[in-house]
């Protein structure tokens, strides 16, 4: 099933455009009682340059594990991951990683947090200040440069966390449910801002979410995973035109078709997990 889904998802995408290639990756974890738990099983997928891919699946299906393997936080138990044609064998410093929590440094201001990842050897002081200012403005945080994280709202902290990962312009951004704890209105605002930044910068984004509407609204393709050990159940192409109006996404042509297909797959997967 997984192999067929992959071919469907990539039918008109040349394989040599892949910036990330996951090849037959499995991941096992050992518990304190010396039991082995499978998190991922023979997962294969290509992510193309400048593509926005969302990943959905039941809780515990290995979505976050997949991101961490791409980031090089740990190694696959079998299979391999290629990044820009080279196998990931350690921490992948060429990707930006946005976890569920904001994790801003509380002793640094917004501008200091956003500029933290900028290599002083790559940027002059003037270029660094210009880069930080640009991304703070893109995130709607102009005027809050000197504020500390404790002085920010939850949504503002999340904005700062996201642009900190974007500011040094890695070719790939990995996002692990970054809007999960936020209220619905704030989520929509941040979804809209993220798409605007992505449409300007054209970085590749892999975005894990539990929200099916969010998955369709943001993505070029939605990767649907099974219960643990996670496998790829299907990959859905989202044909909606860009730019997208997040605030009226249900009215956009192509949304109902993509969401209906996603919900049908996800519903069957949830029912299968109860037996």
Within this chain, do residues 180 and 87 fall inside the same structural domain, yes or no?
A: yes
Within this chain, do residues 145 and 262 fall inside the same structural domain, yes or no?
A: no
- Domain containing 132 equals 97-169
Q: Are 87 and 21 in contact (CB under 8 A)?
A: no
Q: Are 197 and 205 in contact (CB under 8 A)?
A: no
pLDDT tens for the 275 residues of the chain, in order: 333 333 334 444 444 579 999 999 999 988 787 788 899 999 999 999 999 999 999 888 899 999 999 999 999 999 999 999 999 999 998 899 998 887 899 999 999 999 987 866 577 888 888 889 988 988 889 999 999 999 998 888 888 988 888 888 889 999 999 887 778 888 888 899 889 889 888 899 999 999 999 999 999 999 999 988 999 999 999 999 999 999 999 999 999 999 999 999 888 776 665 55
- State both tokens at 227: 């219960």
Q: Is 268 left (phi over 0), alpha (psi -120 to 50) or beta?
A: alpha
124, 144, 169: which is the final residue of a domain?
A: 169
By residue count, the chain amounts to 275
Backbone angles phi, psi at 204, to 5 degrees: -80, 135
110, 134, 169: which is the final residue of a domain?
A: 169
Within this chain, do residues 83 and 104 fall inside the same structural domain, yes or no?
A: no
- State both tokens at 195: 């798409």
Within this chain, do residues 181 and 269 fall inside the same structural domain, yes or no?
A: yes
pLDDT of 11: 43
Within this chain, do residues 122 and 213 fall inside the same structural domain, yes or no?
A: no
The CA distance from 118 to 203, in Å, is 17
Q: Are 219 and 258 in contact (CB under 8 A)?
A: no
Within this chain, do residues 68 and 146 fall inside the same structural domain, yes or no?
A: no
């Amino acid at each position: 099933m997984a192999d067929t889904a992959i071919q469907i998802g990539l039918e008109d995408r040349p394989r040599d455009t892949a910036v990330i290639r996951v090849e037959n990756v499995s991941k096992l974890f050992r518990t304190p009682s010396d039991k082995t738990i499978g998190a991922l099983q023979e997962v294969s997928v290509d992510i193309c340059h400048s593509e926005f891919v969302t990943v959905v699946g039941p809780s515990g299906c290995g979505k976050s594990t997949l991101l961490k393997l791409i980031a090089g936080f740990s190694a696959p138990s079998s299979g391999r991951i290629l990044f820009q044609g080279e196998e990931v064998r350690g921490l992948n410093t060429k990707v930006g990683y946005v976890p569920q929590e904001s994790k801003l440094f509380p002793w640094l201001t917004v501008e200091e947090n956003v500029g933290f990842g900028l290599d002083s050897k790559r940027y002059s002081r003037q270029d660094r200040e210009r880069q930080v200012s640009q991304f703070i403005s893109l995130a709607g945080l102009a005027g809050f440069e000197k504020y500390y994280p404790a002085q920010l709202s939850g949504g503002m902290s999340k904005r700062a966390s996201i642009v900190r990962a974007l500011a040094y312009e890695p070719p790939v951004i990995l996002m692990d449910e970054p809007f999960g704890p936020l209220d619905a209105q704030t989520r929509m605002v941040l979804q809209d801002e993220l798409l605007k930044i992505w449409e300007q910068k054209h970085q590749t984004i892999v975005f894990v979410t539990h929200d099916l509407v969010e998955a369709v609204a943001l993505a070029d393709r939605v990767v649907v995973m099974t219960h643990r050990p996670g496998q790829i159940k299907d990959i859905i192409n989202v044909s909606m035109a860009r730019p997208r109006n997040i605030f009226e996404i249900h009215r956009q042509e192509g949304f109902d078709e993509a969401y209906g297909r996603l919900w049908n797959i996800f519903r069957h997967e949830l029912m299968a997990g109860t037996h």
